[in-house]
A and B are shown apart, each in its own frame.
Chain A
């Protein structure tokens, strides 16, 4: 019986080739652009998040507390009314207390690689030029585990840094501005007044001009000496085997150590919100494209329903049920949706391939990049599902109208 309904639906569409092709082309274009745009947006989002995950710590333990620590007396008498005035905290050198113990605890968590970092400010003077620098004091042997800076080295290697306690990695922009080359020495002044000469053992190029100009990487002990903060680290940076567990790991560490532990998701909360908002806007736009295409289908099937009132009446007089008639017209929508997917998805893939060939120079970067495209099956599934829902949805109203046709009303008119 179902085959009869499918056959009637098929012949209705084939009998109106031109109208069918017009509405089909709408759904094909809609599906194609839906796929291409969503793949491009998702690709850029995924690329962005990957860069975020790769280029920044998954969790950063900072030398500060999310909430002020309770005074000992308040901890001792938690139920008592305790009021203290003019509490003056002890002045102490900033940094994570007993960072080595904290590090040992963190390293015991499965899937975790951690390293202490001492961040500070410095100034480099060379040939009469001064440049402010962000000093990254790290344990040279750990750098590869917790940072991707090694992959951006265009000259030198991390081994050179590990092999030379007075070595320094500088960015390509800084090297260009100060006319520096590998093997040369630069003198860095710290805010403490300490000055020290370092030998350039490597030059990195990330493509982000500000980073390549302002960041330098040195041995932790040298930065501790420069900043006059021996045995101190003000951050512990952590890389995880599963970056998406960062929030859980951060919560666990903060619960144990008390120090503020920030996951990459928390650090980028505003960006993630923006990405979510961008997705809402993108899906709204591409859904609107498909809705316009769906109106084409609605138009065609409505026309068929009006033209085929007599056929509907005769089918019902024969004994076809209202739901059979509705199924015929829903099947027409389904046909158009399936064909729209069948042709629209390859079209979308073609557009995606074309977009993938284009080179763009994004703001803040110094190199050209390919448009990131998400070729995942989910994009195809979402576009196909939207197209099918739009097509069947567009057929729904006319199909209900067809199902409600009273054969006597048509037969009476036709026989008059």
Chain B
């Protein structure tokens, strides 16, 4: 039990409206420290919705979710935001970098928001992260001056900025060419294998999913 990082119990998310839509339902799931998990399934099956629930970006309408043994369903938005800032890192299909900020400044954003490091230490950390991902020369470049693969690596560096224990990636290679996709896959795999972080990836790519410790297949909003 102590090894379990995330636990979902009958987790569900329904969109209310004239025609209610069930995104996911009855998800029972345990995720351990350092696991590399792939979530797969057909389009519209609820993979991303599950990822957003596990990443505390969305609130479940049923069931419960524990992070390191603490039940999170009753937390308000600010508390969830604080947990995301300190414990979680997100990588999305579109890199979602702020276009007016350089690669270094994008990585610095969550560091400055958390406010634990002084300016010099924050800058040094951002540059180390970029250098580790092969982007030392791109630190001062704006997103439009870099390739898609480079942008996605900057997004990974930003996700790692506050040294999170969980990385959640939503189709991180979906917009990349084969070579860039391979680089990003290796980085995410190494984050789990070499750094002991928990990595949860939503992917359509069977070869990427095959590298994971465990694959969770979602069909019609439920674990198949």
The interface of chain A, by Cβ under 8 A from chain B, is 1, 3-4, 8, 11-12, 14-15, 310-311, 313-322, 324, 407-408, 411-412, 414-415
A4 nearest in chain B by CB position:
B112
What DSSP secondary structure best describes chain A's contact surface? helix
Q: A408-B57, A412-B48 are in contact. Are A310 and B113 (CB under 8 A)?
A: no
Quick check: A319 and B114 within 8 Å, CB to CB?
yes
A-B contact count (CB 8 A): 80
B98 nearest in chain A by CB position:
A311
Quick check: A318 and B101 within 8 Å, CB to CB?
no
Chain B positions within 8 Å of A408 at CB level: 52, 57-58
User: Number of residues in B with C-beta < 8 Å to the partner?
Assistant: 34
The interface of chain B, by Cβ under 8 A from chain A, is 48-49, 52, 55, 57-58, 77-78, 81-86, 90, 92-94, 96, 98-101, 108-110, 112-115, 158, 162, 170-171
A-B contact pairs, 19 of them (CB 8 A): A1-B112, A1-B115, A8-B98, A310-B94, A310-B96, A315-B109, A317-B57, A317-B90, A318-B84, A318-B110, A318-B158, A319-B86, A321-B81, A412-B49, A412-B52, A414-B93, A415-B93, A415-B94, A415-B171
Quick check: A15 and B100 within 8 Å, CB to CB?
yes
Which one, B52, B82, B100, contacts A319 given CB within 8 A?
A: B82
B96 nearest in chain A by CB position:
A314
Chain B positions within 8 Å of A314 at CB level: 92, 96, 98
Which one, A8, A311, A319, A411, contacts B92 given CB within 8 A?
A: A411
- In the complex, A54→B91 CA distance in Å? 77
Chain A positions within 8 Å of B98 at CB level: 8, 11, 311, 314-315
- In the complex, A412→B202 CA distance in Å? 13
- In the complex, A408→B23 CA distance in Å? 13
B47 nearest in chain A by CB position:
A415
- In the complex, A314→B57 CA distance in Å? 11
Quick check: A319 and B96 within 8 Å, CB to CB?
no
Chain B positions within 8 Å of A11 at CB level: 98, 100-101
Chain A positions within 8 Å of B58 at CB level: 408
Chain B positions within 8 Å of A15 at CB level: 99-100
B52 nearest in chain A by CB position:
A408
Chain A positions within 8 Å of B108 at CB level: 4
- In the complex, A357→B55 CA distance in Å? 68
Chain A positions within 8 Å of B48 at CB level: 411-412, 415
B77 nearest in chain A by CB position:
A322
- In the complex, A411→B90 CA distance in Å? 11
Q: A3-B112, A15-B100, A310-B96 are in contact. Are A319 and B57 (CB under 8 A)?
A: no
